[in-house]
Amino acid sequence: MHLEIIVRKREGGAVVEESLIKEIKIKKPTSIMEIGFKHSEQVSIISEIQSRYIPDQCSMLFEERNICQKCGNKAMKNGKHTVSFHASLSDHKIKAQGYSCKCGWQSKPTIHGCFGSNVHPDLIKIQATLGAKMPYKDAQASIAKFNCSSRSVNNHVKIAEATNKIGEILHTIKTEEIVEAKKESEELYLQVDGGHIKDKGKDKRSFEAMISTVYSPESYRKVSENKNEIKSKHIAASALKDGGETINQLTLKAAKKEGLSENTVITAFCDGASNCWSIVDYLSPYCKKIIKILDWFHIRQAYDRAITALPDYKDQIQSSKYKVWHGKPKEGIKKLIELKSDLECRDFDNSKLDKLTFIISYLSNNLAKLVNYMSRKTNNLPYTSNVAEANVESQINVRFKRKQKMQWHRSNVHNLLQVRSAIYSGEWQNYQASIDMKLVA
């Protein structure tokens, strides 16, 4: 038995063209490799079929161009042109007729001229999702593997452009989106955090990108003794310099999608930074009450830095940490103050003591936001932002800080974060139709 893949074209009822794409003998497979077509064969079959299909579509697309668009006279043929088109899996070059008129009007056939791009929107979206998830060069390598070839349309510069473009579209969609809470949640959790990214601009300093994550108690699940996951959540992100307007609006929308109402009690976790708390405070008119908790993740980090600076005093620093962990922050602070004055008497290196001073003022300034973290953990209640895919580390640091010297344009970071947050909020599919509409507009 043989299998033949044939492309047959009909006009009216009559067959006008028939081409054999592939012929293969059907036989018993001797290994799993022989079941069906190989990956590369699949790509090449699709490519062959497309190359029988796209030229006919193009000749229809360009046929009305033999009428002058300026004076309306019949235009004359003016050479053949090569039209290029990039489908999801294959590149196509088609010969098409150009036209010109005595009045000076000319028409060069291009897909870009007709639709504003010669790349299929599906490919742009694939590039954007990969570009948002991993460094552009890694995305380039991934697409090349999946596509079985290195196409110039998939190089890292094009992937960066696609990510930026889709992110810009998503920014518009999310900003214009009107969200009505479908369900009502009695309780919601909110984490807000920021990450600093090096600026590619003139002054080459850094700017902050903000991330908010909203989820409901049902989504918070234990996966192992020391690990929890958030099954579903909505993430809002912004790197724009707009006084917090975008992040406030997007955080409110994210909360509404999770069921925010006037009856909702929000428990918010933040670092001590005021720009984080101002995002939390923005939600207060829309809910019943906000309970503020200092994020355990940042407290632990501060203690870790102190232990690194003063390894000989690890036990004393740890015992202060345990007091805070068990909801006795005043005792924890007292232990640190004692340790500090003890070390000061011995003329200890000031820069190392600063690590202790930082924790003391960090905790003292946030006393009202300190809780019994241990009992929250025991009761399976959130107490830290350090939960996979929901924290700054996974949303910002992983993508923007892989290389120390990596610098970014603020707007590009913002756009990339729009794609990332849509993916990690499980909303990428919901936005498809709107993205397509804006891509082809």
Spatial distance between the Cα atoms of 41 and 56, rounded to a whole number of angstroms: 24
Distances (CA, A) of 192 to 209, 402, 410: 11, 22, 19
Grouping H, G, I as helix, E, B as strand and the rest as coil, residue 90 is coil
Q: Which two tokens stand for residue 432?
A: 């498809």
Q: Which two tokens stand for residue 240?
A: 């724009």
Which DSSP letter does residue 347 get? T
Q: Are 217 and 189 in contact (CB under 8 A)?
A: yes
Q: Which residue lies nearer to Zn ion by CB, 103 or 291?
A: 103
Q: Which residue lies nearer to Zn ion by CB, 39 or 102?
A: 102
# residues contacting Zn ion (CB under 5 A): 6
> Of these, 43, 58, 61, 68, which contacts Zn ion (CB under 5 A)?
68
- Is residue 157 within the footprint of Zn ion (CB under 5 A)? no
Q: Are 214 and 220 in contact (CB under 8 A)?
A: no
- Is residue 231 within the footprint of Zn ion (CB under 5 A)? no
Binding span for Zn ion by CB under 5 A among 6-14, 60-68, 311-319, 322-330: 60-68
Site track for Zn ion across 125-154, x = CB under 5 A:
------------------------------
Q: Are 317 and 303 in contact (CB under 8 A)?
A: yes
- Is residue 440 within the footprint of Zn ion (CB under 5 A)? no
In a 10 Å sphere around its CB, with 0-12 CB exposed, 13-18 middle and 19+ buried, how is residue 82 labelled? Answer: exposed
Binding span for Zn ion by CB under 5 A among 67-75, 109-117, 266-274, 401-409: 67-75
Q: Which residue lies nearer to Zn ion by CB, 103 or 223?
A: 103
- Is residue 220 within the footprint of Zn ion (CB under 5 A)? no
Q: Which residue lies nearer to Zn ion by CB, 9 or 70?
A: 70
Q: How far apart are the first and last CA of the chain?
A: 49
Q: Which residue lies nearer to Zn ion by CB, 70 or 222?
A: 70
Helices (H) and strands (E) in the chain, counts: 16, 12
Site track for Zn ion across 79-118, x = CB under 5 A:
----------------------x-x-x-------------
**Nearest approach, Cβ of residue 68 and Zn ion (Å):** 3
Q: Which residue lies nearer to Zn ion by CB, 71 or 157?
A: 71
**Nearest approach, Cβ of residue 75 and Zn ion (Å):** 7
Which DSSP letter does residue 201 get? S
Spatial distance between the Cα atoms of 254 and 266, rounded to a whole number of angstroms: 13
Q: Which residue lies nearer to Zn ion by CB, 53 or 105?
A: 105
**Nearest approach, Cβ of residue 104 and Zn ion (Å):** 7
Spatial distance between the Cα atoms of 116 and 425, rounded to a whole number of angstroms: 30
- Is residue 76 within the footprint of Zn ion (CB under 5 A)? no
Task: Return residues touching Zn ion (CB under 5 A).
Answer: 68, 70-71, 101, 103, 105
